Structure 1
């Protein structure tokens, strides 16, 4: 795994935790921030996956 894959996965997990915490305290703001962080994490992981695929193809 490369750095982007690791960081992306970590952001996704942190976003899920933040979303759940927002649900527990009934905070729509925290839920939205958690969803945003998940999207960022998935995007970063996909970028890392693409970099890894390109590196392996050479």
Structure 2
């Protein structure tokens, strides 16, 4: 359980603290780096709540 919590914190929280240094290493602004961090979550949320495949579809 401890390793699970450690991995979640490392993969989800650590990149937020490193945004400014990551952005400067790629020579992009802090705002662009922040947008790059929120895009995967935004896409995942849209896909999660999308109506595809339709609920009434059947296989066969």
Q: Report the TM-score, using the length of structure 2 for normalisation.
A: 0.38
> Which structure has the larger Rg over C-alpha atoms?
2
Q: Which protein is richer in helix relative to its size?
A: 1
Q: Report the TM-score, using the length of structure 1 for normalisation.
A: 0.38
